Structure 1
């Protein structure tokens, strides 16, 4: 009898990551989520996941500190052995991130470096260190942004890092194909969550403007994204590889 697959969702305690985790659980995946600061919220999400009759666990991970990655990977390996009685996992969803709207002229080197670490450097090396104990036939999903296709003022740093992540994903698809590991990008458009200090939720004028840019007349919600990620982790998506899938309601089409 095949064991349920195991997915790691970074930043899975809230927002888009939480919905990804829940959708993966509904498809029968055991799910490990990471959190940065709010352990209590992460444990609440674990409880919700376990109500779906899967095993779940929350681990702390600070992607702004790239030197912490080896320690996290060691903890992750131990968790696989003690909580799931295995040494390997199947799906890596690089979702954790941070947001800020800062005009190009006001970007500092410190801010640039923080975005670089969180959105690209840490994802690069976390993936590198996790691949050796991924099962053949597994998958990697990197969460990008619609703003790599269209421009949103104040997102020059964020979107540049996401652009690098998209190139990286194509290389993963090319170089890991011999293991049957697929790599794809999911690029959400504007989504009403607490991301970037809940910029859309807290600004009705912004929400109205962004809604008007979509043929469907609204911004996204977290529930629009997680099901797409879960599909890409499924057997039904076995022939989708090296792709950027924008989930944006057709904004700026």
Structure 2
């Protein structure tokens, strides 16, 4: 039986989730990593985590399909039994998500519902389904956005769901406190990844605009966010609970 803690990271095959997963592996966590389409990337992540000394498995998960959460919980339960001889894991990072850009006037009901399923309903009911498998004294981190503090045209639906995530975090922190499970939110600023089509990374004008509005003078990178997520999922920050931690380099101060 391993003495390492186990972290479950959703959307771990790329971007911030991948970075956080590898940071966790480097800090001594084993991994259950989820992916939706990136099976090859997930296998590569597992290999890289194993090279860091972690035991790791990858499981498919569609965060936008809550009907599949009970089956996913069963798959997690089986993985815990088969790979760790355990019935619980220690840390949950609700990271998976997708971007959507549309002005308020042009946002369709289908776009709104997609953001709702992925960013609010998904983390709500996935955490609920996994709750019996989270060890007492565990940690949960939800992912929000700097867009809940400042507003940019085109992100009304996305940011509204992330606002709901931040409220949900506080309620989870309160209701799970009796089990000593701490719950926090990480709110990244604009990050140069392929999220939302990679616009922040690939559009020089947008990249420069964001950098000019950020106190530290550049856009963020996954290496700026992953360590914060990993730290909040560790015992080092065990007394931080019910908080929103913005990691944005000081944008729009």
TM-score bracket for this pair, using the shorter chain length: over 0.9
Aligned to 1:238: 238
Aligned residues: 253
Aligned to 1:24: 24
1:222 and 1:106 map into 2 onto residues whose CA distance is 31
Q: CA deviation at 1:2?
A: 7.4
Aligned to 1:99: 99
CA deviations 1:187-232 (Å, max 9, x no partner) are 0000000000101112100000000011110000000001111111
TM-score (norm 2): 0.98
Aligned to 1:126: 126
Aligned to 2:137: 137
Tell me whether 226-235 or 5-14 shows the greater mean CA deviation.
Answer: 226-235
Give the 3-state SS of the residue equivalent to 1:199 in structure 2.
Answer: helix
1:21 and 1:153 map into 2 onto residues whose CA distance is 32
CA deviations 1:101-126 (Å, max 9, x no partner) are 11111111111111100001011011
Runs of 4 or more consecutive aligned structure 1 residues displaced over 2 Å after TM superposition? none
Q: CA deviation at 1:39?
A: 0.5
Aligned to 1:224: 224
CA deviations 1:142-191 (Å, max 9, x no partner) are 01000000001111000000000000000000000010000000000000
1:122 and 1:73 map into 2 onto residues whose CA distance is 13
Q: CA deviation at 1:134?
A: 1.0
**1:137-216 to 2 correspondence within 5 Å?**
137-216=137-216
Aligned to 1:247: 247
TM-score (norm 1): 0.98
1:68 and 1:132 map into 2 onto residues whose CA distance is 17
Aligned to 1:54: 54
